[in-house]
Chain A
Amino acid sequence: MDVGTLAFSALYQFGDAFAFLVLSACGLAVIFGMMGVINLAHGEFIMCGAYVTVSAVHAGIPLPVAVVIGALVSAAVGALVEILVIRHLYDRPLDTIVATWGLSLIGTQGTLILLGSTMAGVGTPFGSFQVGDYSYSVYRLVLFGMAVLVLAALYALFNWTRFGVMARATIQVPHMAAALGVDTRLVYSLTFALGAGLAGLAGGLYAPTMTLVPTMGTTFIMEAFVTVVVGGADVFLGTAPAAALLAVVKATMTSWYGQLAGQIGLLIAVIIVIRVLPRGISGFLLRERA
């Protein structure tokens, strides 16, 4: 087996792990990393996106459009949750844990009761390609591309647009932003909806590759929180390097000693990072630059 094949397979595994970490984490990076809301219902937003996407495909809508619909519905649900529940708990961070945990239980059990224990999948599109002895799924490359795209879009949104500036101002010093005429309540709602929508996008993108069950969100949760904790408060400067670092650790450990070692490696890496850099990678990077 030649070096090129080996290098490609290592790169593919890294990209695959990177995409999974980025897509599961970016919604949480906005809601938890940026807004500071410990959102235990993150997995249920992902599940919501996946279910809506698959239902849309079953209704005859093409997959790319269906994924967008899934993300939009999740965003709408997120906005609703923010207005009804989260808004009243911004200065009570511990209570948001209980509230979002409750929402997560309601989401899982409600889906089980309303839609049954499982939903038929839609199949993975685009087929496969061959490199050396191995064949790979094309869709996995699409996922990687989407992860990069989402990161770039988030960076542009928060740094180059009016909404991004207002969102950052609102979250840093809410009363000052309000004094300058920013509708902070609206900004909070929109930012939370953005996070929920990104979670829904992750669900929609992974839906064709996974079993659709009400508990499917839980398989994203650990990776999501780990990435955000390692990344720190900045959505782009945190999530991207954290996901890259963790993807290298996870892919390497998994290819050497199997899935269990991959999970252990991931968690050990997290412990080390938050011991050395308590404010995450973005905290470290921003302090260096300041």
Chain B
Amino acid sequence: MTGKTMRGLRAAALTGTLLLGAAHSFTPALAADPIKLGVLEDQSGDFAAVTNGKVNAIQLAADEINKAGGIAGRPLELVIYDTQSDNTRYQEFMRRVLQRDKVDAVFAGFSSASREAYRPIVNQFNGLAFYNNQYEGGVCDANMIVTGAVPEQQFSTLIPWMMEKYGKKVYTLAADYNFGQISAEWVRNIVKENGGEMVGEDFIPLGVSQFSQNIQNIQKAKPDFVVTLLVGTAQASYYEQAAAANVGLPMASSVNVGQGYEHKRFKPPSLKDMYVTTNYIEEIDSPESKAFVAKFKAKYPNEPYINQEMENSYLAVYLYKQMVERAGTTDREALRKEIAKGDVCMDAPEGKVCIDPKSQHMSHTIYLAKVSEDHSISFPKVWQDIKPYWLGEAGCDLTKSDPSAQYTPSNPPPKP
């Protein structure tokens, strides 16, 4: 490229930037200024299979809200970026939505690694982020509202039930990063409290897809059931390989089926006897759930599955609407005053949910989903209104102070 064309290009680029900037800053403030919602989700990369639908769920809720007159008369506008299953992208786009797009709230994140990557940026710019994923729990941060289920909701129900049904020897196979490690710690503690025994634990780096050695380790340890906390599409290859090696053990999980719809993706019977606690999946047979599924499939007929994260994302838009309308503003402190009243609740597709003021996490209906040999789903048990109690009991109280930290059972909040 010659020097001249290079200069010409540079000048053109500069003019373009200036024009863009000008257009941006001279937009007149209207009475019905839109409320802007940043959406940072993985629409490509390793996690796309389970997170693509979250964007559709948010879009569905936004369209419904806009059709019904918006939030307090203001339209809801989505600013969507594809974070490509890449933690660095989360940081870039989080800066962009907060600084350049100046959104009022952000819906962001699938993996716990991505959440911990962007959380300091939300803190820095004092933004408000909704994390709509089930996760390992423990985030005590006034800038975050978590609508996903946490271990005390998923494991305190699941593990004792499994131990009663199948026996007390437990083996954990978990993804080797903060989610898997901390979830495994929860499982370990709950197994011990209930008089069981951990006969083995294996941690698998993200992206690993070959499991022959782990399968053999499990057979050697002879557990009564295996807790699978595997994350990402590569690791999901475990089920097929374990079934091919005829491991034949019941499995328990907080992430499978409800998140990765493995029972739809794999050929039966590789997920036979998989038990999952989830706050939502499309098979739930209630009028509210059926209406939600019908709405969703009408708008997105090609959606492969409606998982718990999609329901969380959908209801989170409505919770945000409710908070803004009650507070009369999108100001974060005003919204938190509404949360502090303890009655930010709604009737979601899963049932009634409420935001806990102390931890800004959410209560859920927890469904125990069982995968049968033909990969159909049944629900042997449903727990109503399970609260995210652990953070509050351990000493996190966001109505009083904001440590902006993540705690674990072995690293609880400091006692006051």
Give A residues with C-beta under 8 Å from B. 9, 12-13, 16-17, 20, 108-109, 112, 116-124, 127-128, 133-137, 139-140, 208-216, 218-219, 251, 254-255, 258-260, 262-263
Q: What residues of B have a CB within 8 angstroms of the CB of A262 in the complex?
A: 213
Q: Which A residues lie within 8 Å of B384 (CB)?
A: none
How many Å lie between the Cα of A140 and that of B211 in the bound state? 11
- Flag if B265 contacts A121 (CB, 8 Å): yes
> B216 and A134: CB pair below 8 A?
yes
Which residues on B sit within 8 Å (CB–CB) of A263? 205, 208
The reply to whether A259 and B49 form a contact with Cβ atoms under 8 Å apart is no
Please, which residue of chain B has its CB at the minimum distance from the CB of A263? B205
Name B residues whose Cβ lies closer than 8 Å to a Cβ of A.
44-46, 48-49, 52, 176, 202-205, 207-210, 212-214, 216-217, 219-220, 233-234, 236-237, 240-241, 243-248, 264-268, 270, 302, 304
Residue contact A259 to B245, C-beta cutoff 8 Å: no
Of A122, A128, A136, A219, the residue contacting B234 (CB under 8 A) is: A219
Partner among A12, A117, A255 whose Cβ is within 8 Å of the Cβ of B49: A117
Assembly CA distance A163 to B168 (angstroms): 62
**Contact yes or no, A120 B267, CB < 8 A:** yes
Per the bound structure, the CA–CA distance linking A210 and B244 in Å amounts to: 11
Is the CB–CB distance between B266 and A13 below 8 Å? no
Q: Which residues of A are found within 8 Å of B48, using beta-carbon distances?
A: 112, 117, 213-215
- On whether the beta carbons of B244 and A137 are closer than 8 Å, the reply is yes
- A240–B304 Cα distance when bound, in Å, is 42
Complex contacts, B45 vs chain A, CB 8 Å = 215
Indicate if the CB atoms of A216 and B234 lie closer than 8 Å.
Answer: yes
Residues of A within 8 A of B203 (CB): 258-260
Q: Is the CB of A213 within 8 A of B246?
A: no
**Residue pair B233, A118 in contact (C-beta under 8 Å):** yes
Q: How far is the CB of B256 from chain A (nearest CB, A)?
A: 12
Q: How many angstroms from the CA of A140 to the CA of B213 in the assembled complex? A: 12
Task: Return 8 A-B CB contacts under 8 Å, by A number.
Answer: A116-B302, A118-B49, A118-B233, A118-B265, A208-B240, A210-B240, A211-B234, A215-B45
Known contacts A211-B234, A213-B233; is-contact A128 B246 (Cβ 8 Å): yes
In the complex the two chains form, what is the Cα distance from A120 to B208 in whole Å? 20
B393 to chain A, nearest CB (A): 34
- In the complex, the answer to whether B246 meets A259 with C-beta atoms within 8 Å is no
Docked-complex contact B209 and A211, CB < 8 angstroms: yes
Contact B267 A260 (CB under 8 A): no
A135 to B268, CA, bound (A): 19
Ranked nearest first, the 6 interchain pairs of A and B with the lowest CB-CB distance are: A123-B267, A128-B246, A124-B244, A137-B244, A117-B49, A118-B49
**Closest Cβ of chain B: how far from A119's Cβ, in Å?**
8
Once bound together, how far apart are the Cα atoms of A184 and B208, in whole Å?
40
Residues of B within 8 A of A208 (CB): 240
A117 to B261, alpha carbons, bound, how many Å? 12
Q: A254 contacts B245, CB within 8 Å?
A: no
Contact B208 A219 (CB under 8 A): yes
Q: Enumerate chain A residues within 8 angstroms of B233, measured Cβ to Cβ.
A: 118, 211, 213, 215-216
Do B241 and A124 have beta carbons less than 8 Å apart?
Answer: yes
A contact residues around B270 at 8 Å (CB): 123
Q: A128-B245, A219-B207, A260-B203 are in contact. Are A210 and B219 (CB under 8 A)?
A: no
A259 touching B244 by the CB < 8 A rule?
A: no
Nearest CB on A from B79, distance (A): 21
Most-contacted residue by chain B among A9, A109, A136, A259 (CB, 10 A): A259
Q: How far, in whole Å, are A137 and B243 apart by their CA atoms in the complex?
A: 8
Please name the residue on chain B nearest to A139 by beta carbon: B244
Give Cα A208–Cα B243 distance, bound, in whole angstroms.
12
Contact: A133 with B219, CB < 8 Å?
A: yes
CA distance A280 to B261 in the complex (A): 44
